[in-house]
Amino acid sequence: MSADAFAATPVADRQRGVAASLRRIRALTRRHAYLLLRSWPRIVSMAYYPTVTMVLWAFLTLYLKPTNRFLADAPGFFIGAVLLWDVLFRGQLGVSLTFTEEMYSRNLGNLFVSPLRLYELIAGQLAMSLMRTLIGVGGACAFAFLLFHYSIFSMGLPLVAFFACLLAFGWAVGLAVSAMILRYGLGAEELAWAAIFLVAPVSGVYYPIAVLPAALRAVSYALPTAHVFEGMRALLLEGTFRYDLFRNAVLLDIAYVALGAALFAAAVHSARKRGTLLQMGE
């Protein structure tokens, strides 16, 4: 059978095009959703850490507010910051843990011999990351409202911009971490939990970038997170949405997501050269 004749067969046709691609992404998402949604401990654990952190910062705010003019002006500042930080953290974890799950299951071989394409695998990971982030941060947001009458939605439409920018950077780091895990095995899994904290000090989550030494400020402005949190401060303290910061964050996100995807693709290519895709697992 020639390649052209083969390509004309109905089965091959069904496997091509956007609809087929979406179907495979849905399959991958369904595979992880089955796992996630049937396990209440998993769901609780996703919201647990953001909620506990939020409660800590909320009580600190209550303690400091009477004597601090800054917090009197913007009482939701720390709570908003911690919730947005967790968008980044959950976004990254969502990508890395979804990939790690495939390795623990020794399922990579089955995925890579299926018609699933690399960009569909990545898209499935990103979709799961979004789901995990919404569950995790959504739970903490609900508790912030119930316990402290703080609604993150009071930020209005800019919240969507902040959320999207942080989620995208989380994806970029998550893809890079997945690449490391694929390259160095499950021993590198700790990176999934620790990697994002490397950027925390220079992201200006709880303080302005201006307090950093000049050299670190340059590093900060090379990260979309610094622009997002500066933007958040401008919104909460001055009531203005800084489009310039938003634009910078978007442009940097595009670059970082492209870099993360390229690293992941390179790691897959390397694994195909080394023959580890069928062997990887616990």
Please list, in sequence order, all residues whose beta carbon lies within 8 angstroms of the beta carbon of residue 168, skipping any fewer than 6 positions away.
91, 224, 253, 256, 257
**Interface with another protein includes 28 (CB under 8 A)?**
yes
Q: How many residues interact with another protein (rule CB under 8 A)?
A: 42
Q: Tell me the C-alpha distance between 3 and 171, whole Å.
A: 37
Where do we find the tokens 């299926």?
114
**Interface with another protein includes 176 (CB under 8 A)?**
no
**Interface with another protein includes 119 (CB under 8 A)?**
no
**Interface with another protein includes 8 (CB under 8 A)?**
no
**Interface with another protein includes 183 (CB under 8 A)?**
no
CB of 273 vs another protein, minimal distance in Å: 5
**Interface with another protein includes 185 (CB under 8 A)?**
no
**Interface with another protein includes 107 (CB under 8 A)?**
yes
**Interface with another protein includes 20 (CB under 8 A)?**
yes
- Figure out which of the listed residues 71, 82, 112, 200 binds another protein, where binding follows CB under 8 A: 112
- Figure out which of the listed residues 9, 45, 68, 240 binds another protein, where binding follows CB under 8 A: 9
CB of 118 vs another protein, minimal distance in Å: 10
Task: Report the chain's C-alpha Rg in angstroms.
Answer: 21
Q: Tell me the C-alpha distance between 110 and 160, whole Å.
A: 37
CB of 262 vs another protein, minimal distance in Å: 18
Which of the ranges 7-15, 60-68, 199-207, 256-264 carries the binding residues for another protein, by CB under 8 A?
7-15
- Taking the least distance from each CB to another protein, the nearer of 110 and 154 is 110
Q: Tell me the C-alpha distance between 122 and 280, whole Å.
A: 18
Which positions touch another protein (CB under 8 A)?
Answer: 1-3, 5-7, 9, 11-12, 14-15, 20, 23-24, 26-28, 30-31, 34-35, 101, 105-107, 109-117, 269, 272-275, 277-278, 281
